[in-house]
Amino acid sequence: MLKLKTFSFQSKITLIFFIGLLCTRLLYSSLYTSFSQDVARDVLLTENRIASHEYIVAYGPKASVWNFYVPPFYYQLHLIVSLLGGNYPLAMKWFTTVITTATPIFLLLILKKFVKFEYAFLAAVFFAFSPTVLSNSVNTWSPTLVPLLSTIALWAWVLFIKDKKPWAIVGALLATTLAIHLHYQAVMLLPFSLILFAWTVYKRPSFLKYWLVGIVLSCLTFTPYALAEINNNFHNTQEIIKFFTLEHSHYYDQISKPAYVFTFLPGFVERVLIGLHHNYWLGRLVLYLGLLVLGWVSLKNKRQERWLLLYFLLIFIMLRIYKGDKLDYYLSTLYILPYVLLAFLYQAFKLVAVFLSLGLVFLSASFLLKQIPYNDFLSLKEELRPITDTQTHQAKFLIHDSNDINRFAYGIKHFDQVAYNANSHQLIELCQNIEWCKWDEISRCIYSRAYTYASLLKSQNTYHYIFPKGGLEDIDSKLIITSFDKPIGIIADYRLYPRLDGYELDTVLPEAYQW
């Protein structure tokens, strides 16, 4: 009876926590709207698929690191959400906001298997309001959902290991596979799955049928991709294999082994906890002391916490092998790490819970309160308003920063309806920043290829400014509209962007490259 009451109390607290967290996340998401190049690209590609009635997605967009296309799951999900949301451009943002609210709940479910409920709950609350986690939750692109799926996978593995529930194997494998669909950073989860498989073969061979079901279902998630690859002679798969087998550490693996242990990982932990790192003292305290406590608890009497320790240690090892960009949002499988360690520190040292909690509240709140609300979607509309105000209907485009191309493409399609014309006398120029818009009437190679080309073009042709009307002295935006006396034409041998025929961007505006 007492156990039933305890469970009922914990369930009520968890439900109240979820409802309160959902309201908070919705409020936070309404204040911060990211509409980056990847978001704009995904929205435009989804709109094009819906318009052409292509409801099955075989390939995602082109990867930013090699000549291959990413797996389709996120973009299939994006299409479904957009259809249900009436093709609203921010539908995926709000879907992501709601669904990622479940991540702290799954973390709570994991932690309460190992520590007292109050410590698990406290750690989950701090995770929910982590500046890094909150920032990630409003950036609507494929890696955003990786923390949710990787946490679900770990929760399922915990159910299998501690509660002897074999059906959890299926859920863990599916969650891991979908996380890999979202971003290949999730391959770091595979070694833990392989070790658990070997352990199952040795200890519980009767559970192998659940592994078989999980593997089959996971493979089925690649069905649209596999069918497309059969028709394309597996070209995309070959490029993926080539990417992972080529030695490219001199491009990405720029973190030495001592720095990896003493600065990189503590710095990451500190940024997740409070939004930025100062001198690594907080990150080192939580990481080193937390791992020592977890290691001691794991080795003591061979308790099942050793699986939790192994899970994180394998990710650390894979990070040394993994050659991709070690940026915070590419390490999102580790977002829960600081809070798992905090929960064990709370249980081992009661006073730590008080002082650490007060410190985290102060530091993370200080960081969050300094953040200024933004809305990239509305900012884009305002940024391109001069095109409408000057009634520019046809022009050539010169975009200095390739990261602005997809945002510009969305804007001219939905806000301004300006058409590309290779023989137009008018030029819409989107600078990398306001300062670089100010041409000093000297032809020279500075700042960027686009700026250099603009200076050459203006020095060889007669022109006047349509916007800003008063010339560059009045400029207060990155956008310039110029009218030339002679058609600008196309300069076929001018490579405006590096790797123009390569893999840097999956642009939805090829006209931006036609110079």
> Contact, 214 vs 172, CB < 8 A?
yes
pLDDT at 22: 96
Q: Which positions ≥6 away from 340 have C-beta within 8 Å?
A: 107, 110, 111, 123, 290, 294, 308, 312
CA atoms within 13 A on the CB side of 366: 9
Q: How far apart are CA 305 and CA 282, in angstroms?
A: 24
pLDDT confidence of residue 500: 44
Helix (H) or strand (E) holding 394: strand 394-399
Question: φ and ψ at 25, to 5 degrees?
Answer: -65, -40
Q: Give 149-202 pLDDT, tens digit per residue.
A: 999 999 999 999 999 999 999 999 999 999 999 988 899 999 999 999 999 988
- What are the CA-CA distances from residue 464 to residues 385, 470, 480, 481 (Å)? 19, 10, 11, 9
Residue 492: left if φ>0, alpha if ψ -120 to 50, beta else—which one?
alpha
pLDDT, residue 462, reads 81
Yes or no: say if 139 and 34 are a contact pair by the CB < 8 Å rule.
yes
Write down the pTM of the prediction: 0.90
Q: What is the pLDDT of residues 75-131, one digit of tens each?
A: 999 999 999 999 999 999 999 999 999 999 999 999 999 999 999 999 999 999 999
What is the CA angle 305-311-317, rounded to 5? 135
Q: Give dist(CA 192, CA 476) in Å, integer.
A: 53
d(CA 508, CA 38): 11
Percent helix, strand, coil in the chain, to 5, is: 65, 5, 30
Q: H or E segment at 46?
A: helix 37-51
Count how many Cα atoms sit within 13 Å of the Cα of residue 6 in the half-sphere of its side chain.
7
Sign of CA dihedral 505, 89, 275, 15: negative
Under a CB-based contact definition with an 8 Å cutoff, are residues 116 and 165 in contact?
no
Asked if 450 and 83 touch (Cβ cutoff 8 Å), the reply is no
Nearest to 34 by CA among 379, 430, 469: 379
- What is the residue-wise DSSP string for 462-485? -EEEEESTT-GGG--SSEEEEEES
CA distance 176 to 185: 11
CA triplet 251, 256, 260: central angle to 5 degrees? 110
How many residues in total does the chain contain? 515
Q: DSSP for 228-282?
A: HHHHTTTHHHHHHHHHHHS--HHHH----HHHIIIIIHHHHHHHHHHSS-SSSHH
The per-residue pLDDT for 446 is 78
Q: H or E element: which one contains 290?
A: helix 290-299
Whether the Cβ atoms of residue 437 and residue 488 lie closer than 8 Å to each other: no
Read off the amino acid at residue 500.
Answer: L
Pairing of strands 419-420, 374-375: unpaired
Amino acid at 210: Y
What count of Cα atoms within 13 Å lies in the side-chain half-sphere of residue 264?
Answer: 18
Which residues, given as ranges, of the chain have pLDDT below 70?
1-7, 246-256, 301-302, 322-325, 489-507, 513-515
Contact 123, 272 (CB under 8 A): no
Q: Are the beta carbons of 497 and 513 closer than 8 angstroms?
A: yes
